Amino acid sequence: MPTDELQPTAERRTGEIEHGVDAGKHLEFIDWVEANPDEAMLEFRASGVAEEIANRTTATIGDWALGGDEMGDVREHTLEFGLPPELEEAMGYVESTDRHEAIEGALAGLTACINGTIVYNAIREGIDVEGVATTVRAPVDLRMLFGIHDIDRAHDMYGELEIDVEVMGDLTPEEKIAVRNYPKRSPVYNLVTLEHPNVPNVDFTTAA
């Protein structure tokens, strides 16, 4: 087989900058993850503190872990969650404000993860993707939230999740087939579409 038809190796692609990434070093990182799955295990975290006004939360993102080692102790990102003002007014808020709703935050994270997943895998497979834009829509039924439905109706809370992905680039038919499957590799896509049985740990303290 001619050399130029071989899957590009990390050594051959080092110095090739694609989407702001050194392709060779990126492939070396993937090789490291394959060889060291425990050391490459990530743990991301977020904390949210409820504000005095209902459904407003200030969330923070900072430290994380890689292979059990603590990282990012100097990181601090703040996100303010709430509701669109029209909903707050309808729900009896004395003073309304405009914040992004928690579901919108989750959907925004999903668009980012799908975009990143497509670009990462395009770099890995040497596919010339020029750009990606993802739009997500989630119809939500609030009756369980407000106690109208019991928690056994959880599966009725959402209508069908709609995900539209636009991939820019002059791709071959074979490359298009590969790229169509990339979103299913997205960690956030799998977080929101697969079941992850969980019981929250709820602790109680006395207010100061």
Q: What is the pLDDT of residue 8?
A: 58
Indicate whether 107 and 144 sit together in one domain: yes
Indicate whether 125 and 190 sit together in one domain: yes
Q: What is the pLDDT of residue 4?
A: 44
Q: Say whether pLDDT at 5 is over 50.
A: no
Q: Average of pLDDT values for 70-99?
A: 97
Indicate whether 105 and 191 sit together in one domain: yes
Domain that holds residue 140: 101-195
Higher pLDDT among residues 149 and 5, named by residue: 149
Highest mean pLDDT among 4-8, 137-141, 201-205: 137-141
Beta bridge partners of residue 18, listed in sequence order: 21
Indicate whether 68 and 126 sit together in one domain: no
- pLDDT range class, residue 72, cuts 50, 70, 90: very high
Indicate whether 63 and 86 sit together in one domain: yes
- pLDDT range class, residue 170, cuts 50, 70, 90: very high
Indicate whether 182 and 141 sit together in one domain: yes
- pLDDT range class, residue 3, cuts 50, 70, 90: very low
Indicate whether 59 and 115 sit together in one domain: no
Q: Say whether pLDDT at 100 is over 90.
A: yes
Residue 203 counted as domain residue: no
User: Is 140 exposed, middle or buried, given 0-12, 13-18 or 19+ CB atoms closer than 10 A?
Assistant: exposed
Neighbours of 157 (CB within 10 A): 16
Q: What is the pLDDT of residue 2?
A: 33
Q: What is the pLDDT of residue 208?
A: 66
Average pLDDT score over the chain: 93
Q: Average of pLDDT values for 14-32?
A: 94
Higher pLDDT among residues 147 and 14, named by residue: 147
Domain count, the chain: 3
Residue 27 counted as domain residue: yes
Indicate whether 95 and 106 sit together in one domain: no
In angstroms, the CA 45 to CA 66 distance is 12
Indicate whether 106 and 161 sit together in one domain: yes
Residue 202 counted as domain residue: no
Indicate whether 95 and 105 sit together in one domain: no
- pLDDT range class, residue 52, cuts 50, 70, 90: very high
Residue 161 counted as domain residue: yes
- pLDDT range class, residue 14, cuts 50, 70, 90: confident
Indicate whether 23 and 64 sit together in one domain: no
Q: Say whether pLDDT at 44 is over 50.
A: yes
Residue 80 counted as domain residue: yes
Question: What does each C-alpha distance from 9 to 18, 26, 79, 130, 185 come to in angstroms?
Answer: 15, 11, 40, 21, 22
Indicate whether 89 and 164 sit together in one domain: no
Neighbours of 111 (CB within 10 A): 19
